[in-house]
Amino acid sequence: MSLFNKALASIGIGAAMVDTKLEKATYRAGEVMHGEIVVRGGNVEQQVDAIYVSVHTTYIRESNDKKYTDVAAIQKVKATEPFSIAAGEHKVFPISLTLPIDTPITVGKTQVWIQTGLDIKNAVDPNDKDTIRVQPTKLAESVLDTVSGLGFRLREAECEQASTRFRGNYPFVQEFEFVPTGSYRRHLDELELVFLSQSDYSVDILLQIDRKAKGLGSLFAEALDMDESYVRTTITTQDLPTIQAKLQQIIAKHL
């Protein structure tokens, strides 16, 4: 019977189960997440080599004019050393994990989740998935609020495959697509913003300023994507009092 149960456990039937319980469901990027990992023994004793906790999101990858949804690991940490779990036994492990400061914000189509897995040799690894809501850092939030305050409405936010030129820690970047609603409507079709890198004190952003076509020459320029300007700039916490004027000046130069 024991051998039969072990065989079943190796394919996930009657095996140990894992459940991560976080203190809350909403975190700010860069915040420390606290909680506990509960492991429940199955029908037989099993040896667990480690518990791994990872942060994931999805992004859009284009290939041969087709779009695919890929999963990217933002972070993966080893939470425990090897241990054994007896049949029917419950074990609880505390967890403290810092959410990376450049974790995508859960807005638009973007989702982020915490995945916990038991590493068990010669067996299906049990895992648990918990979706969380991620808010921007205070500095990133100030940038996004300033853009909105200038008369732009967020139309879409999505993680997309990053070009080699702008690839950072991950194979994707999160794009924020704004449409003008105020005085910029006469001049711009849209404004796209990407956070290329972030720290506690600064953000490196890329702005794509898409001008509205005016006249035949502008129509040709639009067809050739020559109506788009790319501007890379850094905003620090010291820029907060003048952030609106700084972004206004950048946009005005490319109308």
Mean pLDDT rounded to a whole number for the chain: 85
Percent of the chain scoring above 70 in pLDDT: 86
Mean pLDDT computed over 22-38: 96
Query: With contact defined as beta carbons under 8 Å apart, do 55 and 114 qualify?
Result: yes
Tell me what pLDDT residue 44 has. 79
pLDDT digits (tens, 9 = 90+) for 151-174: 999 999 999 998 877 777 899 999
Tell me what pLDDT residue 15 has. 65
Mean pLDDT computed over 121-127: 62
- DSSP for 189-219, please give it: EEEEEEEEEE-SSEEEEEEEEEEPP-HHHHH
pLDDT digits (tens, 9 = 90+) for 77-113: 999 999 998 988 999 999 999 999 999 999 988 999 9
First to last CA, the chain: 76
121: its two tokens: 């040799």
What confidence tier does 220 reach under pLDDT thresholds 50, 70, 90? very low
pLDDT digits (tens, 9 = 90+) for 36-85: 999 988 777 888 899 999 999 999 998 888 889 999 999 999 999 999 98
Residue with tokens 């009092």: 241
Query: With contact defined as beta carbons under 8 Å apart, do 127 and 118 qualify?
Result: yes
Give how far Cα 233 sits from Cα of 11, 38, 111, 201, 203, Å: 52, 45, 27, 14, 8
Tell me what pLDDT residue 222 has. 44
Tell me what pLDDT residue 204 has. 96
- Nearest-angstrom CA–CA distance, 132 and 26: 6
Mean pLDDT computed over 185-204: 92
Mean pLDDT computed over 134-156: 95
Structural element, H or E, at residue 172: strand 172-180
Side-chain half-sphere CA neighbours of 43 within 13 A: 15
Tell me what pLDDT residue 31 has. 97
Tell me what pLDDT residue 125 has. 58
Q: Which residue ranges form the domains of the chain, and what is each CATH number?
A: 2-135 (2.60.40.640), 138-252 (no CATH)
Tell me what pLDDT residue 119 has. 86
